[in-house]
Chain A
Amino acid sequence: MKQGDEQFLKEPSYQYSREPVKQLPVRNLPSEDDPNVTDEDLENAILRHCKASANLTAVS
């Protein structure tokens, strides 16, 4: 602690209270489902994940 830092150390003079927060203040890239994706595309996506995940560890 440096000299003079005591000035930063004190209890608050007010109580922090919250109201229920519903809408989280974030914005998004708009998205939607892609009608052109087939069942085979979905299975291939899973297999891509499985193949890459299997490579995370060298243990076999």
Chain B
Amino acid sequence: MGGIFALGAERDFDRVQDLCLSVARLWKQAAANEFGFGIYISPLALKICCDNGGRILGDYFPIPPGPFKRIATLIVLGRLDPFFHFEPQLDRGAMDRWLPKILTLLISPGLAKLRVNMAVDPTKPLWQKLDAWETFPSAHYKQEFFQFLEGMDSFSWLEGEARSAGFIPTNTWEYVLEARAARMISAVALSLESCYYWNEDSKDMGTSSPLRGKCADFFDPSDVNFRKEFEYDRVIYTGIERSKASP
């Protein structure tokens, strides 16, 4: 079923780690000083993510999985059991705000690392790259996506109470956690897929739509910290451009 969450693939961990390292490298180069923390990857947590990702994709989805489900799996599992961590350590609130933003940076390299077989005849593969991702359809969508990830919870902390109260019979808890994760992966995959098609088809940024790009009241221009965090991608891009201009 190919790499990136392919159950049993020996090199899959390396491929997922390459994606994460590309984020950590650019962050260090362009944004770490600005925001005051570095991005690090826990190999142990990433290994668990790869094992769980391969199992969930294999158990709950057709094989081989589609590209959006693979990247959605990386993002959802990276939220539920984080493999990214930040140093110096952020407080809980900052960690919850930043993790979705950093995970979002995995979308474009993750899709670019994949290809889909468009062939009707399986003996004559026709590979198509997935390098059209640029961004979300609107600033509001981007913020909602962050908040969706921020609120995502495996509810693993509930296990002790649920068991002691007799809510969950033995042997079903693992199923509950995995089934919930699979449905979260489905939701994120649908979101990524629709955004990808929008990226392929339209770059008018909402100027022709009566709705898209018009919701702005979530964005308080006087909230400097919110604005700066929201535009973390601008910091990365301008930082890299600046370093290219003056090597």
Contact = CB atoms under 8 A, between A and B. Distances in A.
Interface string A14-45: 00000011111011111111100101011101
Nearest to B137: A56
Contact of A31 (B21, B59, B117): B117
A5 to B, nearest CB: 32
A59 B231 contact: yes
A47 B142 contact: no
A48 B179 contact: no
B134 A33 contact: no
A39 B116 CA distance: 20
A53 interface: yes
Interface residues of B, number: 63
Interface range on chain A: under 10, 10 to 19, 20 to 34, or 35 or more? 20 to 34
Nearest to A37: B113
B246 to A, nearest CB: 17
Interface string B102-117: 0001011101111111
A59 to B, nearest CB: 6
Contacts of B18: 39, 42
B15 A56 contact: no
B153 interface: no
Instruction: Pick from B108, B111, B139 the residue with the most CB of A within 10 Å.
Output: B108
A46 B109 contact: yes
Given A43-B22, A47-B240, A51-B237, A34 B64 contact: no
A29 B227 contact: no
A34 B179 contact: no
A43 B221 contact: no
Contacts of A57: 139, 219, 230-231
Interface stretch (B66-74, B77-85, B91-99, B160-168): B66-74
Given A32-B3, A43-B109, A53 B233 contact: yes
A53 B133 CA distance: 11
A28 B69 CA distance: 9
Nearest to B3: A33
B60 A48 contact: no
Which has the most chain B C-beta neighbours within 10 Å: A21, A31, A45, A59? A31
Given A26-B186, A29-B117, A49-B107, 8 more contacts: A22-B179, A28-B61, A39-B21, A45-B108, A46-B105, A46-B236, A50-B237, A54-B233
Interface of B: 1-4, 6, 15, 18-19, 21-23, 25-26, 59-62, 64-67, 69-70, 105, 107-109, 111-118, 127, 129-131, 133-136, 138-139, 142, 175, 179, 182, 186, 205, 213, 219, 221, 227, 230-231, 233-234, 236-238, 240
